[in-house]
Amino acid sequence: MKKLVCLALCLMLALSSSAFAVELAAPGTFPVTQEDVTINVFAPVTSGSEFDWETCYMTQWYQDKTGVKVNWLVNAQDVFIEKLNLALSSGEALDLVVAGGNGSTAISPTMQVKYADQELILPIEEYMDNNTVYMKQRVDSIEGWREAITTPDGHIYSLPWYNQCYHCMYYGKMWVNSLFLENCGLEIPTTTQEFKDMLIAFRDQDANGNGDPSDEIPMIGATDSYGAKIDTFLMCAFIYDDGENRLMIDDDGKVMAVFMQPEFQEGLRYLADLYSENLIYPDSFAQNRTQRNEINSRTYESVCGAMPNIHHGIGSRGDDEKTNARFLEYVAIPPLVGDDGLQVTRVNYYDSFGVNAAAGLIPATCQDPALVMQWLDLLFTDEGITMQDLGEKGYTWDDADEGALGVDGSQAVYKKITLEPDDPYYNNFSWGQVFPEFITAEWRLGYQQTGGMMAPDGSGVEAFLYYMSHENYEPYGIPQENVVPPLYYSEEDASEIAMLQNNVNTYVEESIAKFIVGQLNVDTDWENYINELNNMNVARYLEIIQNTYDASAFAVK
């Protein structure tokens, strides 16, 4: 079957190549060609009733800059992958696929490997290296990016996509109510013992100052976010815990199951002690963030002393929120120092790379991959980045006001202009994040803030989160080489590891809760916990990950 598909594709390419052979400009120069060229782009319907690929402002701008026209083949999001599979397997004349990598349009790493094995898509690294200037420069400027999108066969199939949210990288934050600290006469805790002492004070004293010493909840968590889990922040004082798969790469390049280590047991012992002292809200192991926030929003005074979360969206005061915002009470404290001196936090190094889903692919039916790659290269120029993210100067953005501050507190670079609903390009200006792009944290820092960092209306929220992340988490980030990188699994391995990962993670999550609340004893039930993981074939789970890692561009040589 594979040979028949390949034969059909080769025949189609042979028939069409003579009609699409064009003379290209030098890489990095625009327009790409002086000839009349149209490419077929397979794309999803994007959200927003006003958006239209044909009439979008950026579509016309891009055509004027590159000299290349686009025939848009648009598909509904809920059938996008189904239609893509059919188009690729049938040899439909496509020159480019863009997917955006979100929800139902996501082209997973396993799908990419499958398409490549069937020779339905083309490797792009030679075209990127030889036919682009700016795309190649951007990819090579970010440590680990090229490796992250290189499959085990040594090729790159996914078009580059980079969108970095600085504060999002530091996921495992702990937010502590500063008014509680002040009312209890405490400083920010730095060790596990000081943290426990703080929670005891929150429990026993009238920490929120409302006259009732019994309405405070020392610490509360939720289960629907890695950063909101009770254990993620605190466990990192004992051993690195990402709150997700709880794996890491040791200094010898070996995949290590954090959840089976003695240090993890010691961390559970600490957490169980906190729970036994009524310092952890019992429903923290069952509720979601909405339920958690509702608890902290019932009264005018905050009731929650410490809350793990990626950001400070942890309850409100209702009608009074805009002038007396609850989030202003909370500060993100640095990682605690453990007894062995460990002080570390999770860093999402690879989320910015778009590795969990391809931004786009070059189908095997593409009539001129070199032309398409040079056409895409415009997106990685300064002008293309600006147009993709901000739009046209003087229309949707302008230079920042003199003295206005950016996210990092320095002079802002640009300010956004909001279009009115009756503007012909309202919500129909940019291609958004569907196409390949390059947005760094440094770029985002230039956004002019409309309010100060502590503005109660939240207008300075990005500056607030940047400050907390930069001061209290970046210095303690786990080294990138110790983080399990994104890996491309074969279709067979992907199916097996999905089952093993689900079984292992479900059991580990359930066991963590049981150890903490006392349904399991950290000392007497630990051996049974390890044995059960072994019975689940955790060794095979780690073996697949190790073998795939060893075959990747990340492997320690």
| CATH number of the structural domain spanning residue 313 | 3.40.190.10
Who's near 249: CB < 8 A, 6+ residues apart? 255, 256, 481, 482, 483, 484, 549
pLDDT at residue 324, as a whole number: 64
Task: Please indicate, yes or no, if residue 404 is contained in any of the structural domains.
Answer: no
* Tens digit of each residue's pLDDT (9 = 90 or more) over 9-21: 444 444 333 345 7
C-alpha span between 330 and 336 (Å, rounded) = 17
| Residues 288 and 383 grouped into a single domain | no
pLDDT at residue 182, as a whole number: 98
| Residues 225 and 305 grouped into a single domain | yes
pLDDT at residue 432, as a whole number: 82
Among the residue ranges 218-232, 416-430, 447-461, the one predicted with the least confidence is: 447-461
Question: For residue 482, how many C-alpha atoms fall within 13 Å in the half-sphere facing its CB?
Answer: 16
Q: How confident is the model at residue 7 (pLDDT cuts 50, 70, 90)?
A: very low
Q: Where are the beta strands (DSSP E) in 61-199?
A: 68-75, 96-98, 162-163, 174-177
Instruction: From residue 177, give the alpha-carbon distance in Å to each of 27, 137, 304, 305, 328.
Output: 55, 44, 8, 5, 9
Instruction: From residue 524, give the alpha-carbon distance in Å to each of 260, 265, 490, 521.
Output: 15, 11, 40, 5
| Residues 181 and 93 grouped into a single domain | no
pLDDT at residue 12, as a whole number: 45
The DSSP string of 220-269 is: ---SSSGGGSHHHHHHTTTS---SSS-EEE-TTS-EEEGGGSHHHHHHHH
Q: Which amino acid is at 268?
A: L
| Residues 233 and 292 grouped into a single domain | yes
Instruction: From residue 389, give the alpha-carbon distance in Å to each of 52, 136, 163, 231, 447.
Output: 17, 20, 10, 37, 11
Q: What is the mean pLDDT of residues 449-453?
A: 85
pLDDT at residue 357, as a whole number: 81
Task: Please indicate, yes or no, if residue 447 is contained in any of the structural domains.
Answer: no
* Tens digit of each residue's pLDDT (9 = 90 or more) over 291-329: 999 999 888 889 999 999 988 777 766 655 555 678 889
C-alpha span between 208 and 201 (Å, rounded) = 11
Element (H, E) at 333: strand 330-333
Last residue of a domain, one of 335, 369, 387: 387
Nearest to 334 by CA among 173, 196, 192: 173
Nearest to 155 by CA among 369, 398, 403, 391: 369
Task: Please indicate, yes or no, if residue 471 is contained in any of the structural domains.
Answer: no
Q: State yes or no: pLDDT of 2 exceeds 60.
A: no
What is the chain's mean pLDDT, rounded?
Answer: 91
Task: Please indicate, yes or no, if residue 233 is contained in any of the structural domains.
Answer: yes
Q: pLDDT higher for 102 or 279?
A: 279
Task: Please indicate, yes or no, if residue 342 is contained in any of the structural domains.
Answer: yes
| Residues 178 and 146 grouped into a single domain | no
Instruction: From residue 207, give the alpha-carbon distance in Å to each of 79, 302, 304.
Output: 53, 9, 10
Last residue of a domain, one of 363, 387, 411: 387
* Tens digit of each residue's pLDDT (9 = 90 or more) over 126-180: 999 999 999 999 999 998 999 999 998 999 999 999 999 899 999 899 999 999 9
Rounded to 10 deg, the angle between the 491-517 and 262-276 helix axes is 40
Percent with pLDDT over 70 in the chain: 93
Q: State yes or no: pLDDT of 340 exceeds 50.
A: yes
Task: Please indicate, yes or no, if residue 326 is contained in any of the structural domains.
Answer: yes
| Residues 11 and 158 grouped into a single domain | yes
Q: What is the mean pLDDT of residues 105-114?
A: 91
- Return the SS3 of 107: coil
Last residue of a domain, one of 371, 387, 403: 387
Task: Please indicate, yes or no, if residue 372 is contained in any of the structural domains.
Answer: yes
| Residues 317 and 182 grouped into a single domain | yes
Residue numbers of the domain that contains 243: 174-346+482-550
Alpha carbon 100 to chain centroid, angstroms: 13
* Omega before residue 31 within 30° of 0, cis: yes
Q: State yes or no: pLDDT of 90 exceeds 90.
A: yes
Task: Please indicate, yes or no, if residue 235 is contained in any of the structural domains.
Answer: yes
Question: For residue 486, how many C-alpha atoms fall within 13 Å in the half-sphere facing its CB?
Answer: 22
Element (H, E) at 86: helix 80-90
pLDDT at residue 402, as a whole number: 96
Q: What is the mean pLDDT of residues 107-128?
A: 95
Percent with pLDDT over 90 in the chain: 77
Instruction: Answer whether 345's CB lies under 8 Å from 234's CB.
Output: no
Domain tally, the chain: 2
Q: How many CB atoms lie within 10 A of CB 289?
A: 19
> Could you give phi then psi for residue 163, rounded to 5 degrees?
-145, 105
| Residues 265 and 124 grouped into a single domain | no
> Could you give phi then psi for residue 486, rounded to 5 degrees?
-65, 135
| Residues 366 and 341 grouped into a single domain | no
Nearest to 148 by CA among 331, 350, 290, 338: 350
- Return the SS3 of 217: strand
| Residues 526 and 486 grouped into a single domain | yes
| Residues 226 and 372 grouped into a single domain | no
Q: How confident is the model at residue 193 (pLDDT cuts 50, 70, 90)?
A: very high
Sign of the dihedral defined by the CA atoms of residues 188, 459, 352, 397, in that order: negative
| Residues 235 and 86 grouped into a single domain | no
